[in-house]
């Protein structure tokens, strides 16, 4: 399939070199199109027009087999802290080129956790989505509807309209939405989670 999406990941390994070695190991059965290291160096592993096994099982906005329709970018980060500035600068340049080359809309730049709630958590709570959104390189998944009710069923409906259509428990779905919209939020479902999905200003608490 022609690439229509970009999926962002973190490597969750000690170094980019270790990640590249694993991504190039046939026995690992995992790959990605690009790896960006902390220094900003970009390594291409798979041509953009070919499938890379980076996304796995999941679904986004009603679409399955994300591997066959997406370009995967691995970011050199262990998930425990902010992403390095040189890395972010390189990511911005790479994304701008990819989106232009394949006519991919900003709304189709997603995180691994968006399409696989409960199974994947990358690029994690420290990734600066707002920065990409401000540069037109991503767009917040939103549902421009008024929910009927305030419970988990109403939240699931709003989340599905926003794109979160993968099978997931209530807890996993809430966690995935918060990773993207409210990364420091904790506790049970609350009105701020609905507000975040309706396209209002980013809620951080």
Least confident of 41-45, 97-101, 196-200: 196-200
Residue 147's pLDDT band (cuts 50, 70, 90): low
DSSP symbols for 9-47: EE--SS-HHHHHHHHT-GGG----SEEE-TTS-EEE-S-
CATH class, 5-134 region: alpha beta
The residue ranges of every structural domain in the chain are: 5-134, 152-197
Distance separating alpha carbons of residues 155 and 193, to the nearest angstrom? 8
Neighbours of 85 (CB within 10 A): 10
Q: Is the pLDDT of residue 69 over 70?
A: yes
**Average pLDDT for the chain:** 94
The active-site residue out of 18, 29, 59, 74 is 74
Q: Is the pLDDT of residue 198 over 90?
A: no
Give 94-117 pLDDT, tens digit per residue.
Answer: 999 999 999 999 999 999 999 999
Q: Please tell me the pTM assigned to this model.
A: 0.94
Assess whether 74 carries a catalytic annotation.
yes
Buried b (16+ CB within 10 A) or exposed e, 11-28: bbbeebeebbeebeeeee
């Amino acid at each position: 399939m022609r690439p229509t999406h970009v999926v962002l990941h973190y490597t969750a390994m000690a170094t980019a070199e270790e990640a590249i070695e694993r991504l190039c190991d046939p026995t690992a059965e995992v790959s990605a199109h690009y790896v960006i290291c902390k220094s900003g160096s970009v390594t291409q592993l798979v041509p953009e027009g070919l499938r890379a096994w980076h996304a796995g099982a999941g679904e986004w906005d009603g679409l399955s087999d994300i591997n066959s329709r997406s370009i995967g970018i691995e970011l050199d980060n262990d998930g425990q802290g902010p992403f390095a500035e040189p890395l972010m600068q390189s990511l911005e340049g790479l994304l701008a080129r990819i989106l232009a080359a394949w006519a991919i809309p900003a709304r189709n730049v997603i995180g691994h956790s968006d399409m696989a709630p409960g199974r994947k958590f990358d690029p994690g709570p420290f990734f600066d989505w707002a920065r990409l959104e401000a540069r037109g390189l991503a767009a917040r998944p939103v549902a421009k509807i008024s929910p009927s009710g305030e419970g988990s069923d109403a939240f699931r409906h709003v989340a599905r309209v926003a794109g979160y259509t993968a099978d997931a428990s209530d807890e996993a779905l809430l966690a995935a939405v918060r990773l993207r919209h409210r990364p420091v939020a904790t506790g049970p479902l609350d009105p701020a989670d609905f507000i975040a999905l309706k396209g209002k200003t980013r809620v951080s608490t």
